[in-house]
Every structure is written in structure tokens, then in C-alpha cells.
Amino acid sequence: MIIISPSSPDPKIATTRPFSVLRCFAVLLPFFCLAPTAWTQDLSEGADIYATYCAQCHGPNLEGGQASSFMDGMWNYGSRGNLHRNNIKFGIPGTQMIAWGTVLSDPQIDAVHNFILEREKEMGVEPPPPAERSETEHYNLNVEVLAEGLEQPWGIEFLDDRTALFSEYPGRLRLLVDGHVDSRPIANTPRPATRPSGQTFGYMDVALHPNYSENGWIYLCYIDETPEIVGQEPNRRWSTRVVRGRIRNQTWVDEEVVYDPRPEDYTAVFDHFGARLLFDSEGMLHLSIGDRGRMLDSQSLARPEGKFHRMHDDGRPVAENPYNSMEKYGVLPTVHAYGTRNAQGMALHPETREVWASEHGPMGGDELNVVKTGANYGWPLATKGLDRDGTVQTPYKSLPGMVEPIHYWIPSPAVSGIEFSTSPLFPKWENDLLVGFLKHQQIVRVALHGHKVIKEEVILRESGRVREIKTGPDGALYVLIDRRGMILRLTPEA
């Protein structure tokens, strides 16, 4: 066990396509504003760099060849411009993507990146919609688009056989009724944090009380903001918060705070909030909170970041939590396990009743873990990946006393929501784990033998960024697509 004081400083499945020098950067993003002359020079230089280093594999017109084409609008290994550039500069561990930073300068990397994006724009390249059908080892899947154009749907729960409740990241709860989205958001829901522009953001997971049908409690996890005034300027700070409420007449009522951050838990770092909610078989609520970019705080039992928290349904710490007796030393009594980076998926094993979690690694090393009482999962002292700038985060892949992951992925697919398959529609997948990938834009079926992964299969590819997977009352799989703002319904062909 490691205790660091709150004042301590911050210190697959491989795709079946050939690996790409530039395919590793996932989405089209707005360009930075440049003067026309500088922009023209940038594109001209980028074209020359592409012709010299990229065209021999990707084709002179981005049409592909020895490596993949850029013409289908699908990108696999990144979600933001900084990730695009890092993947060019530092390469991608576990793939044939080399580190071009030894050959190209940062301005040259920007130039070729901008050239690719501009050429795609000129040619009208857009990400395709999901295929209507997906072939897998055991089933051919029908892929039905129930909704699109939503704003980053994040979590979903079924209230009854006809109705699901889902969250949208900008700060909305909405209903899906008989496969159709109700355009009216639930009224009177908590106000999440705001960006400097005034845009709200921050709704993450939703969960239902195990006795929801009797008590109606719905749990919501979101990013909360506490502005502090320093001089004349607000010094904005954020944290992860959990409340519960009920829905009556399309309105959020009876709100109660379940997990309330302390004033010192609000930090100015805007990164890695987590978060997932899960009730275990004993009715205890589990909450994952990311490291918030303050890596060493994951090892501090006095900080909420980088932890799995366990509490009663009303937020009281569980008596069996491992560090309750140390609360007088500043240790948080809700801590159940620690040393995690950013867990964005949790699911309850249908037979063993263990809590499983998926976790974002840094540059490589996304993990699958079983959450155990008092376990230390090592971050950032031990990791399978590099830091996000391509440097070595730590020389240690593992350390004594720190729990090894059940499984890890290199390169990082950006694991998100997970779901154990229990549907009678998919008997051949019984108790397999379905894992959503954000960067790889896939769903992977993970076959298990105990705690050992024995097989992985991509069952849905090129669908967009998969945020969450949930089994509906009808046995179908409901999938939230982050990037395209979609809800998909997957069923086997008759």
C-alpha cells in the first residue's frame, strides 16, 4: 500500500487492414487558422512530404496500395489532432507504424497531416454509415440504426420493456421509446460544468437501483464545476459527482447527492474524469474515477482520482472497504481499489459476480481487470504502455504487489463500455465479454476461460466510436456510438 499526501506534486485485435503511416489518427478536425500564404506553403510542403514518404504505400492519390486507402473516411488510431501528430511522431507500439519523428520535424509533421486532411476534404471523403450486416463466426448480425445525430450518447439503461434512458455528454437525459428517441430532454436535471464558451458538458454514466421497479431511483454521474474567484478572474475547477433522482412527467425530481466531492477534490486539470457506475450482486454501488491527468494521485489513498469507489446506494462507504480504519489519516473511506488510469467500462460477471473493468492505458497498454478489494493496479508506477508523448512513463511493466491485468491491448484501441453476453438470442456467446473500442471503432467479442482470454473476434467494425453496449429486454444488443451520435440495435439474422 502506498499513501501519498494530497499536496504531493503531479509528477485486438489488430485491424485486418494493412497498417498506415497516417491512418492512425482518427477523425477529421477543423484546421488551425493560418494566413493564406502560410497555409498554401504548408499544404505544398505537406504534399512533397507525402509524395516522398507516404505515396509509395498509400498511393499517390491516397487510393491505397501496399497500405490502406484514405478514401473511405475511416481512421483507427486516434481521436484528436494531438493524437494524430503523436502517432506520426512516435509511431504506434505493436504495429508496423514507425516513429517518423526521427526523420520529420514537428512543422513537417503538421504539414503532411494538414495535407491529408485537406485532400480528404477536397474529395468529399466522409466516414461511411455502419454496414447493415456484420458477419461473425457464429452469427450474421443485422445492424439497425435507431437514432443518429445525437450529441455523444454516453450511458444507457432500460427502465422497462419499451423504454430506455440515455445520457448525452453535453448535459441531457433522454428517452428511447419503442426504438424512437423522444426529442424532449428530461427537465430539471443537474447542470453540469461549462466550457469557457458557455457550452455545457459532462453527463457520463447512468445506472438504475437494483430495486428500481419499487423505488424508481436513477443514478447519474457527471462533471461538476466549482468556480473560485482569484482576483477578478474565475479559476475554474472540476470534479466527478454522482446524484440520484426519479423521473415523473418527463421531469427529474427528488434529487439526492450520492457522491459529493470535497472542495479539495475539484482540480483545474481537465482530463480523465472516468466514469462508470455499476451495482454489484450485493446492491453496492461501484464508481470509477479517472486519474484526472494527475498520475501519482492514483497511488494516493487520500485522493479520489484513479480509483474504484464502493458505497451503499445512498453513498455511505461500505464497512468492508479496505481503508475505513484509516479515515482519520485522510484516507477516503469509499476507496475499494486504486492505481488505475481511466476506467470507462464496468460489468458484472453473470456467474462469478465479479466486477470487471476496462481501462484506458497511455500510448499502448489498455487493460482488462477484475476489481478486487484493496488491489493496486500499478498506474503510473507500472504500465505496459508509453506516455502520451511517446516517452517512457516508467521502466516497469509490472511490480511486486501490484495486480497484473487479465488482458491488455497494444496498440491502445481506447477501450470503453463492456457487457457480458447473457442474451438468449446469442447462446453461443454465453458469458463472453463484449468490448467497445473508441479509436478502433469496433466491438470485440472476448471469449474467456476463467480469468484467461482464449479468443478475440471483431463482431462489428468501422461503426464509429463505440461508447457503450447494453443488452435490452428483447435480447438485442444496443450500442451507443460516440462519434456519429448513433444508437444501434444488433440482432442475429433469422
> Tens digits of per-residue pLDDT, 196-237?
656 668 999 999 999 999 999 999 999 999 866 555 556 778
Whether 50 contacts 115, CB under 8 Å? yes
Mean pLDDT to the nearest integer, 149-156: 95
Asked if the bond preceding 275 is cis, omega within 30° of 0, the reply is yes
Q: Which of the residue ranges 127-141, 161-175, 225-239, 353-367 would you say has the lowest mean pLDDT? A: 225-239
- What sign has the CA pseudo-torsion 472, 74, 135, 422? negative
Longest dimension (CA), the chain: 67
Whether 480 contacts 154, CB under 8 Å? yes
Rounded distance between C-alpha atoms, residue 368 and residue 354, angstroms: 13
What is the predicted pLDDT for the residue at 39? Answer: 52
In order of start, what are the domains of the chain with their CATH numbers? Answer: 36-122 (1.10.760.10), 133-492 (2.120.10.30)
Residue 146 has pLDDT above 60, yes or no: yes
Residue 175 has pLDDT above 70, yes or no: yes
Q: Is 272 a catalytic residue?
A: yes
pLDDT in tens, 334-345: 999 999 999 999
Q: Which of the residue ranges 211-225, 358-372, 387-401 would you say has the lowest mean pLDDT? A: 387-401
What is the predicted pLDDT for the residue at 150? Answer: 95
Rounded distance between C-alpha atoms, residue 104 and residue 28, angstroms: 22
Residues facing 252 on adjacent strands: 247
Q: What percent of the chain has pLDDT over 90?
A: 55
What is the predicted pLDDT for the residue at 347? Answer: 98
Q: Tell me the pLDDT of the chain averaged across its residues.
A: 83
Q: What is the DSSP string of 172-224?
A: EEEEEETTEE-SSPPBTPPP-EE-TTS-EE-EEEEEE-TTHHHH--EEEEEEE
Residue 17 has pLDDT above 90, yes or no: no
What is the predicted pLDDT for the residue at 188? Answer: 97
Residue 193 has pLDDT above 80, yes or no: yes
Rounded distance between C-alpha atoms, residue 221 and residue 238, angstroms: 13
User: Which burial class, exposed, middle or buried, applies to 9 when counting CB atoms under 10 A from its CB (0-12, 13-18, 19+)?
Assistant: exposed
Q: Which of the residue ranges 211-215, 345-349, 460-464 would you say has the lowest mean pLDDT? A: 460-464
N- to C-terminal Cα separation, the chain? 53
Q: Which of 272, 286, 336, 440 is catalytic?
A: 272
Confidence of residue 5 (pLDDT cuts 50, 70, 90): very low
Whether 99 contacts 107, CB under 8 Å? no
Mean pLDDT to the nearest integer, 18-45: 46
Rounded distance between C-alpha atoms, residue 316 and residue 325, angstroms: 15
Alpha carbon of 232 to those of 212, 224, 235, 439, 476: distances in Å?
Answer: 46, 22, 9, 40, 54
